[in-house]
Structure 1
Amino acid sequence: MYRRPLSSSAGPAVRRSRLSGPAQPRRAFHNYFITHLPSSSMHPDSRSSAGPGHNLPRSASSPYTPGSGAGPVPARPPNMPSRDLTVVRIPLRSAKHHFGVSVSRGQRLSQEDAHQAGTIKMPAFAKRVPVSVVRHQTASTAGEGTNADNALGDPQVFYFAVFDGHGGSECADFLRDELHGYIEEAAAHTIGGYFRRWRPNYFGVSARPANADAPSQPPQPPPSDPVTLESVLTYAFLRADLDFVTAQARKPDPDDPFVSDNPLNRDEILGAPHLTPSGHHTIGGPTRFKGGSTASIALISTPTPAPFWHPAAHSTLVVAHVGDTRVLLCETASGRPIALTANHRPSHPSESRRLRRWVTNSLVTDSFGEERFEGLANSRSFGDMLSKRVGVSSEPDVARVDMAPAQYAFLALLSDGVSGTLSDQEVVDVIKEAATPEEGARRVVEYATEVSHDGDNATCMVVRLGGWERRSEGGVGSLGTKEMRDLRRMEAQDPRRRGRL
């Protein structure tokens, strides 16, 4: 029997996401943040390290019009009239004293890494600072999420992400452009009691009675357990992955025309992908993409008047992770790195047990001594459509850290081209020696590229936290790995090095 070949145009038109509801205008990703700056030099100098405006790029700022729909407006600082302040938008990439990113193609033919940084439209989730016993207790419950629309302006939730593609850049580029939108939609439509604002439409659906035809039986009330941010991030990851895989399954396979004439799996009915949060109908290229991507994202929120990089600010960090990209915190007091992610490798005991439920005797060791599952180095990833039916998943590990004032010096997000070459301590020590996060990111990538054996794509993102000015005070500063780093550089410059590999 003849089957019409599946293509990107076959079947029904791409249907709109159930989460998005009726047609709504879509906004572009906010790669900037909104804050106040003094209008004249008569007011506190922005170069003072004590202020939240320390070294903000005034030349790169642009006036922000309240009510333009581009984001929330921070309240003015206390004891300063509004006429003496200017509300501005500052591109995050221009704030080199607060954020830096560096990338390198290495020795690969193409760049498959991607990254994203900016602010995301969702309620603040930071834990409220405990109220003093001598102050009046507010009506809100301690620890409840709240919008941080306070003085000196940080009502925004900051979003940082690194994606490491394999087999091509299509999946990493899709996540760069769309994943934050999936998180925004999930937060707006599924968070119920967590923020005490929305009724949980999807996670807290009322259970139907056993006899659906009996109208006399009222539906059961929704569960009282609130939907957590961790659940929202998990849902957003899985939804984005399903849409990407579904879109690829509908495209012709350039490697085997016969396969493209049949479903990917006769037991699967994938249907059509939802409309992406950005409103784009195209997901990936014109042909089926069989590769995938890892992902690590970091969300930072504060309930306090100061932004998260201020030395006196309390803030909350939430990290969601799939694959072997890496997120590190540098502890100010000790100078040690704190890893917030663990690589999802097939050789890991918990991952190995999970995968063996699907396929037995599927782990092989490659020529580099690395265990692989169905040819993949990672047991969790986005995409990789041929491996989804044997246990490869995009379900993330989620970690939450409540950060006290100046408890941590900086945050680093790394692709495997960096974390697979350098130790965690080497990474933080290189950043400690830099004057700005931008310089730190560049130095890490340069060092990783210099000493790398495989020349993988490398990406490093550095975010300033409250303890940045004291980053070299903990432990032995950056000297702990200096001798080893110098030795590795000498070996990398040895012309006989390649002969020994």
Structure 2
Amino acid sequence: MKNSQGDTLRVHLDKYRDIVGLRSTRCQRKYNQDRYKVLVLDAPQPETNPANIATTDTTSSSNSTRAISQMDADLKTLFYFAIFDGHGGSNTADYLTANLDEYIETAKPEMVPKVIEDLRKLGGYFRNFRPHFLEPFLPADFEKRGLKDAADRARQQRRVHIPGKGGQIKPMIFIPHPNATEEEQEQELESLENRATAAGTKVGSATPAPTEVLLSEEQRKQKERAATNKSRVEVPREGEEEDEYDEDDDPFVIARRRNLNRTSPLPGGSTAYFGTYRSEYASPSLRAEDMVEKERRKQQAAAAAVAPMPATMTLEQRLCLSFLQCDAELVRDKYRDGSTASVVIVQSKGAFWETEDDLDLILAHVGDTRILLCEAPRGESIQLTTDHHPDAVVEADRIRRMAAYVTADSFGENMFLGQLANTRALGDIAMKPFGVSAEPELVRRTVKASEAAFLVLISDGISSVMSNQEVVDCVKLENNPTQAAANVLNLAEQLGAEDNCTVMVVKLPAWGSKMPDLSKELREYRWQSEAQQSRARRR
């Protein structure tokens, strides 16, 4: 890279303590599952040569302008800063630290259909998954291809007969779990075969006819009278009204609903249900939504058939694809733990900490780690990301469609499905069908060099005990980013932080500007209060 004087520099960012400050600790946890990474991305080479683009008409001229603009953006230096907070283990966080930046560099348009198809195999929330940022790269026949795959999976379903209560043989449909391997499916079918064999019935054979029972003369006459009465057509008399049929009172319908409700799919296992009437009781509102969605996709397919597929990808599209590609790989390799991810790419001509040009901040975010921007000279904290918690308005509306539930733990924190504090994460494959998505929140923000003081990336161990403004004000007190990160971490520990804590401070051009300390009195009060409580506990 080059500095403002035009000199070529080679900088190891995560070891250059005057530019990037890093501090991380396990705090009161047994292990530290937070991870971070800092590097310079290889700018993708543009595939189109603007000198070879004809400009004979308006359309080609606009395409040429877009191509040149994209090339100019790609020629800028891309500085990559990322923070990951693992939960349930550190395997997913380690995977993201090692591979996410490489996926961003190697992202290509032709990868999109395969990644979306892999995620759709999860079913549930991902059954009709179609991310907005990757729409231009899906072929016109993508939905038809998905229907064909669904038909192939339906043919793989096997009808079996197993004994129910009282030895009665009932037909069942065995549907393999999407994450189950062929070996696991065969083991499940083998257990069903053993049950059927014990009852004297082979899997896949027809239901045996009931044994003929000898009836007495009186029983035979009663059976004939019942058949005769059933064949008669009763005509209502004058003044009498025929009883209106009520489906809720029909014992046959009640029995079918009881069987339907008794067998609901659970994560991690196979799904089997009695009967063939599962679709009869689908919610009318859901069917209406499906019709609207089907019509929308038909219109999109018609538009895609006319518009050619783009040959290049924007940085936002690369980030979206890389997040989903990592998630698909984690699902394929069956990573049971999960991780949040907050990535910010600083796009700059030359050194970002001393440039006089505007800076482009491109963010991709999943979970509750945060990215903060300090704006000079006012010194205010600007949160660039949104915490993906169950009580967030957008997330609550999204997961409500899957009939998922949210409960509060003993500390009053809302938990998705009673297990996760985040509704978006990478990994966590058991929760994927219920709405835990890795589709990132994407933000692009252009800031003036004179107004950008610094960036702070923090994990939820910090944000759980400190406000955004307190974090930013702690950084202002130091001239060195590394010492500033240490200040934030020390105050968080003094205020009783328990979770893993990680702080990354990134110096921007307006670093060192004179700014007011907006939370000084609050920090002093909290520090004195915590010190008094600590002395009281020691007594």
Structure 2 residue 484 is matched with structure 1 residue 440: yes
Query: Aligned partners of 2:143 and 2:532: how far apart in 1?
Result: 74
Q: Match for residue 290 of structure 1?
A: 336
Q: Is residue 313 of structure 2 the alignment partner of residue 231 of structure 1?
A: no
Q: Conserved in 2, the CA contact under 8 Å of 1:292 and 1:382?
A: yes
Post-superposition offset of 1:452: 2.4
Q: In the TM superposition, what is the alpha-carbon distance from 1:356 to its structure 2 partner?
A: 1.8
Q: Does the 8 A contact of 1:122 with 1:187 survive in 2?
A: no
Alpha-carbon offset, residue 373 of structure 1: 0.8
Q: Give the structure 2 partner of residue 17 of structure 1.
A: none
Secondary structure at the aligned position of 2:70 is classed as coil
Q: Which residue number corresponds to residue 285 of structure 1?
A: none
Q: Is the 8 A contact 1:124 1:148 kept in 2?
A: no
**For the residues of structure 2 that align with 1:416 and 1:209, how far apart are their CA atoms?**
39
CA deviations on 1:475-501 (whole Å, 9 max, x unpaired) are xx12x211211222223323557859x
> For the structure 1 residues 407 and 190, does the alpha-carbon distance in structure 2 shift closer, same or farther, using more than 3 Å as the test?
farther
Q: Any idea what the Cα deviations from partners look like across 1:436-463, whole Å, max 9, x if unmatched?
A: 111111111111122125x111001011
Partner Cα distance (1:209, 1:149) in 2: 30
Letter in 1 for 2:507: R
CA contact (8 A) 1:372 1:378 kept: yes
Q: Secondary structure at the match of 1:318?
A: strand
When structure 1 is superposed on structure 2, of 347-356 and 486-495 the one drifting more is: 486-495
Distance in 1 between residues matched to 2:109 and 2:402, nearest whole Å? 35
Shift of 1:405: 2.2
Contact 2:375–2:453, Cα closer than 8 Å, also in 1: yes
Letter of the 1:166 counterpart: H
**What do the CA deviations read for 1:358-410 (whole angstroms, capped 9, x no partner)?**
134x2111111111112100000011111111111011101111121222100
Q: Provide the residue aligned with 2:345 in structure 1.
A: 299
Change (3 A) 1:496 1:395: same
TM-score by length of 1: 0.62
Matches within 5 A, 1:255-334: 289-302=335-348, 304=349, 306-334=350-378
- The answer for the alignment partner of 2:512 in structure 1 is 469
Deviations 1:241-291 (A, max 9, x none): 11012101xxxxxxxxxxxxxxxxxxxxxxxxxxxxxxxxxxxxxxxx422
Is 1:104 the equivalent of 2:147? no
Paired AA for residue 468 in structure 1: W
**Among residues 124, 137, 141, which one is paired with 1:204 in the alignment?**
137
Separation in structure 2 between the aligned mates of residue 356 and residue 436 of structure 1, nearest angstrom: 46
Counterpart among 478, 481, 491 of residue 519 in structure 2: 481
Partner of 1:252: none
Consecutive unaligned residues in structure 1, runs of 5 or more: 1-33, 37-51, 54-76, 78-84, 126-138, 192-200, 213-218, 249-288
- Cα distance change of structure 1 residues 340 and 225 upon mapping to structure 2, 3 Å threshold: farther
Q: How far apart are 1:220 and its partner, in Å?
A: 5.5
SS in 1 for 2:488: helix
Instruction: Give the aligned CA root-mean-square deviation in angstroms.
Output: 3.2
Task: State which of 459, 477, 483 in structure 1 corresponds to 2:502.
Answer: 459
Judge conservation of contact 1:406–1:465 (CA < 8 Å) in 2. Answer: no
What residue is the counterpart of 2:101 in the other structure?
180
For 1:47-98, what per-residue CA distance to the aligned partner results, in whole angstroms no more than 9, with x for missing partners?
xxxxx58xxxxxxxxxxxxxxxxxxxxxxx2xxxxxxx6x442211232221
| Partner Cα separation in structure 1 for residue 142 and residue 12 of structure 2 | 52
- The secondary structure found in structure 2 opposite 1:486 is helix
Amino acid at match of 1:486: E
Residue in 1 that maps onto 2:89: 168
Q: What 5-or-longer segments of structure 2 have no aligned partner? A: 47-63, 113-133, 146-304
CA distance in 1, matches of 2:107, 2:521: 48
Structure number having the greater helix percentage:
2
CA offset at residue 307 of structure 1? 2.1
- Determine if the alignment matches structure 1 residue 354 to structure 2 residue 275: no
Q: Secondary structure at the match of 2:107?
A: helix
Match 1:408 to one of 452, 461, 474: 452
Q: What do the CA deviations read for 1:91-112 (whole angstroms, capped 9, x no partner)? A: 1123222111111110100000
For the residues of structure 2 that align with 1:322 and 1:118, how far apart are their CA atoms? 20
User: What is the CA distance between 1:308 and its match in structure 2?
Assistant: 1.7
Aligned length: 341
Q: Please tell me the residue identity of whatever aligns with 1:429.
A: D
Amino acid at match of 2:12: P
1:117 maps to which residue?
Answer: 38
Q: Is the radius of gyration larger for structure 1 or structure 2?
A: 2
What is the CA-CA distance between 1:320 and the residue it aligns to?
A: 0.6
SS of equivalent to 1:393:
coil
Match of 2:186 in 1: none
Distance 1:141 1:170, change over 3 A: closer
Distance 1:205 1:346, change over 3 A: closer
**Structure 1 pair 496/317, CA: closer, same or farther in 2 (3 Å)?**
closer
Q: Distance in 2 between matches of 1:340 and 1:117?
A: 19
Mapping of residues 120-139 of structure 1, within 5 Å: 120-123=41-44
Query: 1:204 deviation in Å?
Result: 3.4
Whole-angstrom distance in 2 between the partners of 1:396 and 1:148: 22
* 2:71 is the counterpart of 1:146: yes
Aligned in 2, Cα 1:246/1:210: closer, same or farther, shift over 3 Å? closer
- Following superposition, the deviation at residue 189 of structure 1 comes to 6.4
Using the TM superposition, give the Cα deviation of residue 421 of structure 1 relative to its aligned residue in structure 2, in angstroms.
1.4
Which structure carries more relative contact order (alpha carbon 8 Å, separation 6+)?
Answer: 2
> What whole-Å deviation, never above 9, does each CA across 1:149-175 have from its counterpart, x for those lacking one?
99xxxx431000000011111111111
Change (3 A) 1:462 1:416: same
Provide the identity percentage.
Answer: 36
CA distance in 2, matches of 1:493, 1:363: 36
